[in-house]
Each structure stands twice: as C-alpha cells, then as structure tokens.
C-alpha cells in the first residue's frame, strides 16, 4: 500500500490502484485532522473532498492541467499531495503555508482564491488563453454549492455556455443526499448523452426527419420539443444544460472509481461540462459530520471530543452584536436583519432564531444583500446588513449607488474590521475606511470596545441615513460600563486622557493601546492627549483643529492601511485649516498582510502599545529638532 510520506507530487498517483487511493484517502484525513486540531482551519470542507482531490490528481496532470479551487477552503488534501506535506504543520501560521491556494507557494496553485464564486471566471479565462495559444491541456474549476449562489458564478456559466469553450466545472454538493437509483439513472443518462454514438444518432435522426416531404421540418420540431420535455422530467441538470453545459451526475463524491470514469468521459466531451458530485462535509470525523458549521472554520480542538480548546472569558464583538440585535428586535418590529451566508459568523443566528420572519440569508450574494436592504429601507423598514469587512468590498457599487445615493437608512454591521489573523491576505479587513470614506451621506463609526459597540448599534439605528459600524474579530476587552460614559453625539469624539505635548487620535480598540503608550510616554515626561475618535465620518473637525493647534504634534493610529484611511482624513482637515503641524500616521503599510496570529502581526507592524510608544518617541525627537531650529 502506498504511504502519504512517499507522495512527493501528484504524478505518483497515476500509477496507483483504486485500493491504493482509498488507503491514501484515510491517511490524508488523519493528517488533516491532526494538523487542524493544533492550528485551526477549514476542517469540514477539506475532509469532504479528499476522494475528489485524489480522483482529480490521478486523472489529470497538474500543473499542466489547471485545477482552480473556488474559495480554497477545501484545498488541504491538494496541498498535501503537491509537495507541501513537510510544511503542512505550519498551516495558517506566520511564515507557513497559506490556508488558501497561493500561486507563490506552488505551481500546482494556478490561481489565488479566498473569496467565493471566482473559479469559473478564472477557469474560462485560462481555457480561452489555451485555445488562443493553440495549446492542449484541461482546465477544471471546483466550486461548492454554496459558492454557486454567488452571481459571479452564474455570469461565468452563462458566458462559458455561450462561447462553447471546453472546460470542466466540478460542482461539489455537500448538502443533498444521493439515492442509489437516482445515481444509477443519472450515470446511464450521462453515458448515453456523452458517447459519440448518441451524438451521431441525434444528427442522423435530424437528417432523416428533415428529408420527409413537406412535413419534415414540422415533425422534427415536434420531436425536438417532446425530447426536451422528457429531458426536463428525468434529467436533474437541465438548468446547466440550458446554459450550454453538458451535465453529468449526480455522482458519489466519495467513490474514487466512479469519479475517475466520469472525469475521463468529461475529457472526451466537447464544450463546457459540469460534473455534479455529492459529498459529505466533515467526512471521516464524526464531530465534523454532526456539526459541519462549527468545523467549517474552527480553532484548535480536542480530537477525541471535538471540543474547541480556547474558550474566551469575555464575549466576542460578534456575540455582543448578535445579542443586541435580539434586544432591539423585541423593541422595534421594523428591524430586519440580512446576511450573506454567514448567520453564525456574524452573530445573526440569535436574531434568526427569535425573529425568523425578519431574518434573510441571501447566500453568497453580497451585492444582492445590500440592495435588498435598500429595498426594505425605502419601504419603511430598518435593515441591518451584517457582513465582514473583506466581503463588503464585493458590494461597493451597491453601497454607493443603491443605498448612499438615495440616503437610505441601512445600517452596515462590518465585522472582522482590521487584522483577522490566520486567514491572511484575502480576509484582512483593512481597506474599508479607504473605500467607504469618500461616499456622501454615509456615517462611519468605530467602537473602542464591546460596550461602545452596543451603544453605537442602538444609536446608529436612530439616524435617518446610511451608517457603518466597523468592529474587530475576536473577544471584547471585558470593558465595564464607564462611570463617566459620554453619550454618543453625531460627529463628536471622546477625549479620554489630557496632555499638553502630543495629541493621539485613535480609531477602534487601538484606543486602549494608545492609552498604554501614553503611560509609557509619561515616564519620559511627555504628556499625551488620547482621543477616541468614534466617528470617522463625519470627523470631529473642531476638536481635531483645536487640539492639533495647541499641541503642535499630532499622531493618528488605526488598524487599517494608511493610504486613504483615517490618518489621511485628519491630514486633509489640517491642510484645509492651514495648520503646518507635522502629522505622524501609524497604521498598516501599502501591502497585503500575510497570515499569522493577530497579536504577532500587531507587534510586527507596531500597532501594539510598545510599538506605538516606540514610533511616537522617534517622532517626538524629530518634532523637538524642528522646534529647536525655529
């Protein structure tokens, strides 16, 4: 029997028997479970496609043949058999393997993924490039049934069917079961529709019917309509057939032998082909099979029990948001909640359970989610669209055109704003301020802690305009209600600490890091004012100009890229006011931020208390030199 340790690349699989591949599938599952139990990761999706991965790599010749994994949640087995087994223990760790396909990591990763519904578009582009270059290779997109709810996937299917370009789309369906009789019938229909004899028979029948005197064309049209009607009754993939694809399936996605036969048949079929495989999410690990949502993306866990190891002492921002939505839903019957396939991830599962009629999960369709909210708002409802920062990028035009241009009261609860850690470049929520800030009518808030998030959500729903509240991933700070709590007022900041030398304007939870940095500065006889900005738009211009003019040294701190972010907004205000104050921006550089523990990344980029202190000390020395020169 072949051992995983002896797999240096996918070419080895071409000489394996079906029994060898089945034995290898067990080894892959063990390796994935053991590793993810320590690193965390997308366990259930990857366990569900182990056999599919082996069938693909033992049938096709990667990297000559191109395999694109939509989203990439399911790519762990692919990584293990394409030369990355020894580094797999560093999955999703800083300096280690990405949790998603990454071109710079391996030639077998032909396209970077991380957001859903992109694979078919990319595959079609590669297939067209192949044909234009007169080359010979296969292009295969592997897309899940969830990702297929994204409109971009259907745009690509429509275009591929229109062009008739040969490519393969594997639809990985992990929601429905498969009955043996349905599978047998589908396999039979798939075979007769793709065999050359069947195609030739159709052509000959058409030729004979059309030659009938006077009535040939009419008879053919009637026969054709009857044929299509029967196909609609017995063929499960007629939607794809109408889009121009040859549909094969559904087939058992855990039966390697059957999959290999269908894949070989698909290679011989002209034009675009869609192969429908049915898999079980979490296959081979009982806790993941029973609770695939929990194990879709999970932290380190105990293999024996399936229990997550790190249990936070404080509630997460997501949980605070979710429970506050239930409280507000009880008070306001016009409150509705919208998510794009992330009820648990956004905390709206609580609201969905309590108010199912006022909860809408639109699937992976962020653009639709935003404009759905606009439609509800224009009809007198109070919609809250809960969405991750990185996914809000996909609906920029809808935010601008459908919500803000009409000044509709849609509230965007933007979760995972800032560094998110192990999911890396594709998921860091570090661009939202830059693309949201220029939009008229939009108000943007950022809470310093979970208590302020609670207050901002309630306050934001009273504003008759579009509102964004951005907050980070992870647990809150355990913040208690402050005795000197300052009520929210539109466009007004909160001065938390007074100092005469430097003023620090901070956005979000980094306010607390800035307070710690101010304590360190005080030990050096440097007194800093710390301001919790609260509103990134509209900014508290009066306070900014007043404090900047008095201190003469200004620092902005944000867990966001500096280009076009909060610091840039402050710079604009100072420039308009004619203040020649030297501004120091502390934030993230002009680059995509890799995966790694959030605390490690904050330290690397100087966004923890010590890093902020060190940068301000360097800046202070420059300020003193300028003052001395004057």
Residue 463 — φ and ψ, nearest 5°?
-85, 135
Q: Residue 236 in contact with residue 190, Cβ under 8 Å?
A: no
Dihedral of the CA atoms 22, 26, 29, 34 (nearest 10)? -160
Q: CA 472 to CA 470: how far, in whole Å?
A: 7
Which of 241, 366, 422, 559 is an active site residue? 366
* Burial environment of residue 181 by CB neighbours within 10 A (0 to 12, 13 to 18, 19 or more): exposed
From the candidates 79, 92, 102, 281, which is the catalytic residue?
281
Q: Which of 92, 382, 394, 497 is catalytic?
A: 394
Q: Give, as one character, the DSSP assignment of residue 212.
A: S
66 catalytic? Reply is no
The two beta strands, 528-532 and 494-497, are antiparallel
Tell me, yes or no, if 394 is annotated catalytic. Answer: yes
Count of beta carbons in the 10 Å neighbourhood of residue 156 = 24
Nearest residue to 423 via CA among 114, 144, 36, 110:
114
- Whose structure tokens read 């790599």? 57
Task: Give 388's strand partners.
Answer: 415
Q: Which two tokens stand for residue 162?
A: 């229109």
Residue 139 near residue 130 (C-beta atoms within 8 A): yes
Write out the two tokens for 268: 């011989």
Separation CA 426–CA 373 (nearest Å):
25
Give the SS3 label for residue 285: coil
- Phi/psi for 449 (5° steps) reads -155, 180
For the annotated catalytic residues, the residue numbers are 281, 366, 394
């Amino acid at each position: 029997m072949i051992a995983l340790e002896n797999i240096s690349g996918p070419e080895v699989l071409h000489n394996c028997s079906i029994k060898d591949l089945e034995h290898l599938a067990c080894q892959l599952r063990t390796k994935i479970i053991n590793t993810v139990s320590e690193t965390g990761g997308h366990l259930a999706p990857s366990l569900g496609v182990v056999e599919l991965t082996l069938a693909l790599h033992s049938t096709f010749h990667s990297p000559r043949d191109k395999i694109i994994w939509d989203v990439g949640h399911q790519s762990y087995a692919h990584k293990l058999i394409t030369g990355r087994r020894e580094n797999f223990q560093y999955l999703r760790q800083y300096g280690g393997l990405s949790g998603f396909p990454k071109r710079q990591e391996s030639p077998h990763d032909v396209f970077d993924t991380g957001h859903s519904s992109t694979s078919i578009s990319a595959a079609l582009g590669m297939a067209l490039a192949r044909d234009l270059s007169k080359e010979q290779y296969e292009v295969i997109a592997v897309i899940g049934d969830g990702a297929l709810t994204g409109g971009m996937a259907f745009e690509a299917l429509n275009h591929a069917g229109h062009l008739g370009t040969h490519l393969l789309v594997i639809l990985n369906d992990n929601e429905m079961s498969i009955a043996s009789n349905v599978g047998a019938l589908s396999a039979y229909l798939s075979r007769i529709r793709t065999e050359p004899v069947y195609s030739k028979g159709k052509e000959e029948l058409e030729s004979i019917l059309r030659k009938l005197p006077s009535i040939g064309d009419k008879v053919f049209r009637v026969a054709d309509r009857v044929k299509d009607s029967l196909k609609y009754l017995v063929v499960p993939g007629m939607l794809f057939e109408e889009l121009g694809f040859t549909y094969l399936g559904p087939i058992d996605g855990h039966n390697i032998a059957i999959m290999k036969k269908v894949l070989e048949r698909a290679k011989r079929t002209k034009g675009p082909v869609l192969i429908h495989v049915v898999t079980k999410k979490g296959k081979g690990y009982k806790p993941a099979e029973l609770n695939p949502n929990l194990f879709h993306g999970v932290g380190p866990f105990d293999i024996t029990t399936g229990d997550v190891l790190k249990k936070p002492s404080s509630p997460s921002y997501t949980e605070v948001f979710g429970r506050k939505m239930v409280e507000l839903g009880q008070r306001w019957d016009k409150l509705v909640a919208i998510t794009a396939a992330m009820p648990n991830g956004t905390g709206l599962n609580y609201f969905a359970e309590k108010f199912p009629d006022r909860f809408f999960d639109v699937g992976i369709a962020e653009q639709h989610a935003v404009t759905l909210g606009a439609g509800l708002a224009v009809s007198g409802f109070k919609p809250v669209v809960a969405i991750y920062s990185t996914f809000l990028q996909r609906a920029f035009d809808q935010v601008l055109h459908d919500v803000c241009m009409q000044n509709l009261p849609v509230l965007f609860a933007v979760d995972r704003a800032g560094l998110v850690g192990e999911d890396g470049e594709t998921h860091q929520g570090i661009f939202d301020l830059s693309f949201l800030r220029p939009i008229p009518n939009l108000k943007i808030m950022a809470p310093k802690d979970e208590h302020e998030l609670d207050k901002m959500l309630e306050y934001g729903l009273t504003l008759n305009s579009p509102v964004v509240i951005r907050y980070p991933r992870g647990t809150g700070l355990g913040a208690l209600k402050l005795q000197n709590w300052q009520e929210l007022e539109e466009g007004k900041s909160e001065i938390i600490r007074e100092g005469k030398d430097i003023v620090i304007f901070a956005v979000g939870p980094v306010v607390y890091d800035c307070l710690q940095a101010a304590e360190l500065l005080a030990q050096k006889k440097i007194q800093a004012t710390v301001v919790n900005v609260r509103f990134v738009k509209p900014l508290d211009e009066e306070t900014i100009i007043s404090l900047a003019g008095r201190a003469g040294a200004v620092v902005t701190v944000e867990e966001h890229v500096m280009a076009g972010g909060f610091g840039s907004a402050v710079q604009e205000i100072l420039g308009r006011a004619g203040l020649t104050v030297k501004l120091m921006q502390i934030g993230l550089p002009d680059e995509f931020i890799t995966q790694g523990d959030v605390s490690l990344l904050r330290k690397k980029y100087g966004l923890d208390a010590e890093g902020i202190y060190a940068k301000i000390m360097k800046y202070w020395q420059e300020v003193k030199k300028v003052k001395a020169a004057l």
